[in-house]
Every structure is written in structure tokens, then in C-alpha cells.
Amino acid sequence: MITGLLGVAGVLVLIEAIYMYVCHETFAFGKGNMMAWVHQHLVDHLEWDGEGTLLDIGCGAAALTVRCAKAFPNSQITAMDYWGVEWNYAKEQCEKNARLERVENRITFQKGDAAKLEFEDGTFDAAVSNFVFHEVRTAKDKRKVVKEALRVVKKGGVFSFQDMFSQKALYGDMEEFVRELKAEGISDIHYIGNLEKKLDFIPGFVTMPWMISGMGIIYGRK
């Protein structure tokens, strides 16, 4: 009996390991490239001429930062992240990646907390963020992280944020939140929820609750 249970447990562990490996390869740049398509979806919803300054909130290893630098060659970009030992990337890695892509002269990297950005109100012409807000541990209310990101965008500036916006446990009623942001002065804002069910490049097997279930985007003009 015990041997049989151990055998079943071993098979389940193996299945999980295979599943996680396949998901990793699907997301990975230069392999399945799904995250590259996710980044492009975000950039496609940033209605900006690229003249001025852009903030990438939670830049990670700078993949989205570099994509923005190439998409908007006249822009100056500030990219920030909390980084830390629990992540497999750091500021030095970001700087190296920017040099490799020959965009280092237009990007500044700095450490920071997305819940309390060290910038004045209305500093940037544009802001982006991808799958970051729900990870911000210094803010229990993730809506406040969104508002903090919008705070540093200039009036008339643009934004495009992707996160688990359709997960009610994180953001509540998003339609209500959008109305709230409009009432607080955001002139043009759009929300598209459950993107994992709408984007052709996202395979069904990565849409489990522990992966990217509830993906959404909010974008517009302040």
C-alpha cells in the first residue's frame, strides 16, 4: 500500500516537473517566445509618439525596457526594480543587456519600490509595467500600486499596464476601479480582462490559476 502511494506521488511530481519545464520553455525568450509577444501586446497599446521620457516599473532583467527603447528610438527611459536575492536578475544584468542591444545610452536603471516611487508627480510622458503590481509586497492593496504608477505620469501622458487585473482577489471589480480612476482625473482609460482567453499566442496549458489566469491590461491617457 505504502509503496503504491509513493509510486503515485512520484508520478505526480514527475508530471508537475514536466509541466513546469514546458511552461518555462514556452515563456522563454529565444525559445517559445511567449513573453516577447506579451511585451509587444503591451507596447502596441501604448499610444505614444515616443518623444520624451518613459518609466518602466519593475523592469526585471530589462527585456521590456529594451523593447521600449527600440520601439521608441527618440525616448529617454528610466527603468526601476526592487531586485533582491529572491530574483534571478539584478541591476548589473539589466545594464549588460542594454549594452548588448546597444541602447544603454538612453536607459537609466535604478532600484526602487513600486509602492512608493521616488519621482515627483507628473515626471514622465509615458509609463509601462508588465506583471509587476501583484508582486509588490510593500502594498497590500494593489489598486494603490496602480494609482502610484499613474501619479508619476504627466497630465496628457500615456500608460500601458499588464497584470492579473481580472483576479478579483487582487483588484476587486475592475470596471468599478476604472470608473474610480476616471473620477479621479484619468481622462482616457481602457480595460481588457481575461486576455489569456483572447490572445492567440497564449496556449491553454499556461492559463492555470497558478500561472497567468486573470491576465488583463489597462491603458490610456492621463
pLDDT, block means (10 residues), the chain with 222 residues: 52 45 47 77 96 97 96 98 76 94 97 96 98 94 98 98 95 97 96 88 61 87 98
Task: Output the pLDDT for position 43.
Answer: 97
Task: Output the pLDDT for position 208.
Answer: 60
Homologous superfamily (CATH) for 33-221 = Vaccinia Virus protein VP39 (3.40.50.150)
Phi, psi of 67 (to 5 degrees): -60, -40
Phi, psi of 77 (to 5 degrees): -115, 135
Single pTM value for the model: 0.85
Task: Output the pLDDT for position 183.
Answer: 96
- The residue extents of the domains of the chain are 1-32, 33-221
Q: How far apart are the first and last CA of the chain?
A: 63
DSSP sequence for 72-100: -TTEEEEEEE---TTSS--HHHHHHHHHH
Task: Output the pLDDT for position 172.
Answer: 96
Task: Output the pLDDT for position 30.
Answer: 58
